[in-house]
Amino acid sequence: MDKGTKIYEGKAKIMYATDQADLVIQYFKDDATAFNAAKKGTITRKGVMNNKISSKIFEFLAFHGIPTHFEKYLSEREMLVKKVAIVPVEVVVRNRAAGSLCRLMGVKEGTTFASPILEFCYKRDDLGDPLINESHILAFQLATAAEIATIKEYTLKINDLLSKFFKNLALELIDFKLEFGRYKGAIILADEISPDTCRLWEIGTGKKLDKDRFRHNLGDIEEAYQEVLNRVSK
């Protein structure tokens, strides 16, 4: 698969064209950002680890009936994916309180809920990815009602699948962010699923094995990503 021109460079990945119009290469960088890019840094070999972790997770989800953009693992930092038109809405699922939810609801980190929380954020870096609801999505035509229904259905199924998947690896899925895209008229899961986009706490010790180690300077960042990769590869 030939790597063509660079289509887009984001904070964590670069998208390249290929010789097939409906496929692109997702290249994973070591760059890390947090707090709406106010904090910047690099995590050594993060790109390699996130590409492998994401590839495994997309394969697992596809096996369980979730349509995804994943085509194939190409090399250490490259994944071949279907080229989608990204729905400009970040979909967040929360199983326990962490991050912005603690400020939003005035609760302590780790607080449990009666049921999982589904949040939508407008994917707009210049606005700080603000929290929105379904009526904003419809009013601004970010997605149709049918697309929102599909996204919600897939997201809740993904939460069930991934919560069990990680529990088997002695990791608790605290929260995560998804991005969906349109491909040939259908909604499919896109972007990545990795310790950059999930909060994962080790069951028993509560050790954070995700980007919070970078956000809050907790140390052992590379080791945490490697630990997740080791478990996911089992």
Ligand X SMILES: Nc1ncnc2c1ncn2[C@@H]1O[C@H](COP(=O)(O)OP(=O)(O)O)[C@@H](O)[C@H]1O
Per CB under 6 A, the segment of 57-65, 75-83, 156-164, 222-230 that binds ligand X is 75-83
Q: How far is the CB of 158 from ligand X (least distance, A)?
A: 15
> Nearest CA to 178 among 155, 201, 150, 206?
155
Query: Residue 127 or residue 203: which is nearer to ligand X going by CB?
Result: 127
Q: How far is the CB of 144 from ligand X (least distance, A)?
A: 19
H/E element, 66: none
| 82 contacts ligand X (rule: CB under 6 A) | yes
For ligand X, the binding residue among 71, 175, 191, 210 (CB under 6 A) is: 191
DSSP E strands, the chain:
6-9, 13-17, 23-28, 31-34, 39-42, 70-75, 78-82, 85-96, 112-122, 131-132, 171-183, 186-190, 198-202
Q: How far is the CB of 170 from ligand X (least distance, A)?
A: 28
For ligand X, the binding residue among 148, 190, 198, 221 (CB under 6 A) is: 190
Backbone angles phi, psi at 87, to 5 degrees: -70, 120
The amino acid sitting at 90 is E
| 12 contacts ligand X (rule: CB under 6 A) | yes
Site for ligand X in 156-185 (CB under 6 A): 179, 181
Per CB under 6 A, the segment of 82-90, 136-144, 199-207, 224-232 that binds ligand X is 82-90
For ligand X, the binding residue among 4, 6, 8, 111 (CB under 6 A) is: 8
CB atoms within 10 A of CB 38: 8
For ligand X, the binding residue among 15, 102, 107, 117 (CB under 6 A) is: 15
| 83 contacts ligand X (rule: CB under 6 A) | yes
Distances (CA, A) of 33 to 25, 53, 180, 185, 198: 21, 19, 21, 32, 14
Q: How far is the CB of 12 from ligand X (least distance, A)?
A: 4
Residue nearest to ligand X (CB): 10
For ligand X, the binding residue among 32, 66, 84, 151 (CB under 6 A) is: 84
Distance CA(92)–CA(175), nearest Å, equals 7
| 11 contacts ligand X (rule: CB under 6 A) | yes
Distance CA(55)–CA(74), nearest Å, equals 10
Name, in order, each residue with C-beta under 8 angstroms of 36's C-beta and a sequence gap of 6 or more: 125, 128, 129
For ligand X, the binding residue among 46, 52, 56, 69 (CB under 6 A) is: 69
Tokens 């194939």 found at = 72
Distance CA(35)–CA(191), nearest Å, equals 19
* Footprint of ligand X (CB under 6 A): 8, 10-13, 15, 24, 69, 81-84, 86, 179, 181, 190-191
